Amino acid sequence: MKFVDEATITATAGNGGSGCMSFRREKYIPRGGPDGGDGGDGGSVYLQADPALNTLIDFRYQPRYKAQTGSGGQGKNCTGAAGEDKVLMVPVGTTVIDADTLEVLGDMLNAGDRLLVAQGGFHGLGNTRFKSSTNRGPRQTTKGSEGDSRKLKLELKVLADVGLLGLPNAGKSSLITSVSAARPKIADYPFTTLVPNLGVVSAAAHRSFVMADIPGLIEGAAEGAGLGIRFLKHLTRTRLLLHVVDIGSQIGDSPCAQIQQLENELHLFSETLAQRPRWLVLNKIDLLSAEALTEIEQEVAQKFPHIEKVYSVSALAKRGLQPLIYDIMQALEAIWKYEAEDDERREQELEAQKKMQREGRLRIAELQERRAAERAAITSTSHHEEDDDLDIDIEYTRE
């Protein structure tokens, strides 16, 4: 199934049913009085998190959803039937945004979470509601109110504890394959990974965490090069980033240049994400001698002292992976413990995640606007050139 992590839909709630104007008319009961019933409430539109889903592809083909309208009231004080609610199932990890105001309406973080996105209209009142001692035959009724209508942007961000970053062919897919049961596509050419992959890493009995692998970044990704930066949003919910660096290849930039290149792209996408805890994983050590490896480790430590930890591994040969997994598990358990004991710390983490998502959303919007302007400029230029080709001066001469 195709992985789709963004979709725009329109959710329209049902209108409320109108009230009824009716009077009781029965034999032997003169002046029976008003008996018009109220209308029914309109149905609302809800989103509900479903753990069985992992893509938003269905919303690409069906972007409009409407709840049922409430029925009108009837005589004999009969109330109209309420409209049926519309419940849309979305994957766990979906963020719901109002496309017009860019307000974040909610995050579907747990299975079964339900979010009201369009409130149904209120029912209209029948003429029975207006009877009084001075108005015994009311002819007033009210119409049901209109239901809400919203244009929503759905963003799916995978729920993972650890995120893998790196240039294409750095060995991220090989790493997640070696430490988990995930089986992403692996090949010797760039951009083998086209969608995020998740794997559950078991450190010990009843001790595990989820690792996410996203497509590789290249220089200029923040400007739209390669697959761009749209997949970086999947890392905004992780607690730890692993920057995988290919140190075994003799072609391309040096390890330090690769690290600096990715750091630049992170800062352009989100300053908050760039400040998240990040460890370096120097991969493909099986292709180097011990002396060359030591020289690279010393150079990295000297040029990037702000990076907390540096690990040298071989994902293919499965060398050096156990210490890395154990340390990740220790760090995550410490984070989880602090957040469980300190509500303020947990709130700070949620605010940091929201800030990263806002920064990333603004950056992607800027990039889309710039691309649209460039396309418009190219189209305008091509039309102008076509017009110039048709502007041929013809001179008539008489012999």
Q: What is the pLDDT of residues 137-172, one digit of tens each?
A: 899 999 999 999 999 999 888 888 898 988 888 888
Most confident of 35-49, 212-226, 347-361: 35-49
Q: CA of 284: how far to CAs of 145, 299, 314, 319, 343, in Å?
A: 65, 17, 5, 9, 41
pTM of this prediction exceeds 0.75: no
Summary mean pLDDT of the chain: 85
DSSP 134: S
Contact 300, 310 (CB under 8 A): yes
Question: Which range is least confidently modeled, 200-214, 283-297, 380-394?
Answer: 380-394
DSSP 222: G
**Is the pLDDT assigned to residue 191 strictly greater than 80?**
no
Pick the closest to residue 150 from 107, 111, 115 (CA basis): 115
Q: Predicted confidence band at 2 (pLDDT cuts at 50, 70, 90)?
A: low
Q: Predicted confidence band at 351 (pLDDT cuts at 50, 70, 90)?
A: confident
How far out from the chain centre does Cα 56 lie? 10
pLDDT score, position 167: 86
Query: What residue spans of the chain are helical by DSSP H?
Result: 57-61, 172-179, 255-269, 271-274, 290-303, 321-341, 343-390
Domain architecture of the chain: domains with CATH: 6-156 (2.70.210.12), 162-360 (3.40.50.300)
Q: Predicted confidence band at 224 (pLDDT cuts at 50, 70, 90)?
A: low
Strand partners, 118: 45
Query: Vertex 200, ends 195 and 205: CA angle to 5°?
Result: 175
**Is the pLDDT assigned to residue 398 strictly greater than 70?**
no
pLDDT score, position 194: 76
Pick the closest to residue 293 from 314, 309, 278, 262 (CA basis): 314
pLDDT score, position 236: 84
**Is the pLDDT assigned to residue 394 strictly greater than 80?**
no
Q: Predicted confidence band at 280 (pLDDT cuts at 50, 70, 90)?
A: very high
pLDDT score, position 8: 92
pLDDT score, position 282: 92
**Is the pLDDT assigned to residue 231 strictly greater than 50?**
yes
Q: Predicted confidence band at 383 (pLDDT cuts at 50, 70, 90)?
A: low
Longest dimension (CA), the chain: 110
**Is the pLDDT assigned to residue 124 strictly greater than 90?**
yes
- Mean pLDDT across the stretch 305-318? 88
How far out from the chain centre does Cα 335 lie? 24
Q: CA of 383: how far to CAs of 21, 322, 392, in Å?
A: 63, 61, 16
**Is the pLDDT assigned to residue 347 strictly greater than 70?**
yes
369 or 327, higher pLDDT: 327
- Mean pLDDT across the stretch 58-76? 92
**Is the pLDDT assigned to residue 49 strictly greater than 80?**
yes
